[in-house]
Amino acid sequence: MTKLSVNINKIATIRNARGGVLPSVVEAAIQCQSFGADGITIHPRPDERHITRKDVLDIKPIINTEYNIEGYPSVDFIKMVIDIMPEQVTLVPDGPDVLTSCAGWDTIKFQDYLKEIISEFKEHGIRTSIFVDPKLEMIEGAKLCGTDRIELYTEDYASQYIGDKEKAIAPYILCAKKATELGLGINAGHDLSLENLAYFSEKIPELAEVSIGHALISDALYFGLEKTIELYKELL
């Protein structure tokens, strides 16, 4: 079954709006896991605008599922991840000034760079995943980087889903087949929601994990966290 990793960045965004401690990201992570989430994802950024370095440390001891840390592999990020030893690290190419992840890696241009970083994480026993656009050459490039998994960037799928879902999913099916052929595990994320998740999951049976933040935390405002996690899990 596809695992649901809940991205709790948005909890930190709400907390930071007042500069205090509410809502607590640690409590949110505990609750998500107790309601059935299969993992917790965070994406610390250098400006700490949502998840802070302290959050990364504070969350670690309460993880009883899988801890997935996403981010741009700066020297600081690499060191922090190796100190924390999460189950998975997901490498994203975006710089410090972007609002949210907005593109996958060019796994051909940055192959040597990624290879070196991935081998360092793997030496420490941390599973690696790299964020990629749904393009066959990027999947082949990812394999040559030595990563365990890819995370398919699903923004294009989500934005085209309403207009033409068959067209929207087509490149993802091809890339998932290629990744499986090459022995790569498949994760996916970005803009997945209660509306578009079921079709994605049905068409990509190889899917190991999705990480979902924005839509899930928004849905939780209306349905509550427990019910929301249950609804997402049903779609997987």
Closest CA to 128 of 147, 101, 106: 147
Choosing from 33, 65, 68, 101, the residue that interacts with ligand PXP (CB under 6 A) is 101
Neighbour tally for 62: CB within 10 Å: 13
Instruction: Tell the smallest beta-carbon distance from residue 195 to ligand PXP (Å).
Output: 13
SS3 93: coil
Choosing from 13, 16, 24, 100, the residue that interacts with ligand PXP (CB under 6 A) is 100
- Is 70 part of the annotated catalytic residue set? yes
Residues 119-178 that bind ligand PXP (CB under 6 A): 131, 151
Is the Cβ of residue 3 or residue 43 nearer to ligand PXP in the bound state? Answer: 43
Q: In sequence order, which residues have a C-beta less than 8 Å from that of residue 142 and are 6 or more positions away?
A: 105, 107, 130, 132, 150, 179, 184
- Could you give the maximum distance between any two Cα atoms of the chain, in Å? 48
Structural contact between residues 51 and 12, judged by C-beta atoms closer than 8 angstroms: yes
Q: Which of these is catalytic: 66, 70, 151, 209?
A: 70
Q: How far is CA 4 from the centre of its chain?
A: 10
Q: Which of these is catalytic: 43, 50, 151, 209?
A: 43
196 binds ligand PXP (CB under 6 A): no
Q: Which of these is catalytic: 66, 151, 190, 209?
A: 190
Choosing from 6, 37, 69, 92, the residue that interacts with ligand PXP (CB under 6 A) is 92
Number of residues that bind ligand PXP (CB under 6 A): 19
Choosing from 115, 127, 177, 214, the residue that interacts with ligand PXP (CB under 6 A) is 214
- Is 43 part of the annotated catalytic residue set? yes
CA angle 201, 101, 181 (to 5 degrees): 45
Per-residue DSSP letter, 70? E
Is the Cβ of residue 186 or residue 215 nearer to ligand PXP in the bound state? Answer: 215
By CB atoms closer than 10 A (0-12, 13-18, 19+), residue 176 is buried
Residues 52-91 that bind ligand PXP (CB under 6 A): 70, 90
Q: What are the C-alpha distances in Å from 152 to residues 92, 155, 183?
A: 11, 9, 15
Catalytic residues: 43, 70, 190
What are the residues binding ligand PXP (CB under 6 A)? Answer: 7, 9, 43, 70, 90, 92, 100-101, 131, 151, 189-192, 211-215
